Amino acid sequence: MNVINNLGVIFDPDVSFVLHCKEKINKANAMLGIIRRNFMYLSEEAFVLLYNVVRSQLEYANSVRNPYRMGLIKDLEKVQMRATKLLITIKHLSTKRDFRD
């Protein structure tokens, strides 16, 4: 497969940006893992500061790729749901949504 990486944006042959989305989701999940391991109890202010780093990964080159596939949207939202579980004050809130493919 012929893949081009230009300024952190991964272009695949069919220009679907699926590989780019998957790469950014993996990087954001890795960052959440680091945050979870190193910060056991987070205040809301600290959480917002740390989550901005994760969110910037998810939104990188958003003007180039806009996730229109339901599977990619679900994967992006899973990262956000995982992040909300890190904060004790909002851990109990439901983040479930009804997706229809």
Q: What digits encode the pLDDT tens for the residues 40-76? A: 777 888 888 888 888 888 887 775 567 677 888 888 8
Task: Please state the domain extents for the chain.
Answer: 4-90
The H or E element containing residue 97 is none
Tokens of 29: 């999940």
- Global pTM value: 0.75
What is the Cα–Cα distance from 55 to 29, expressed in whole angstroms?
A: 11
CB of 76 within 8 A of CB of 21? yes
Confidence (pLDDT) at 81: 85
Alpha carbons 55 and 48: distance in angstroms, whole number: 10
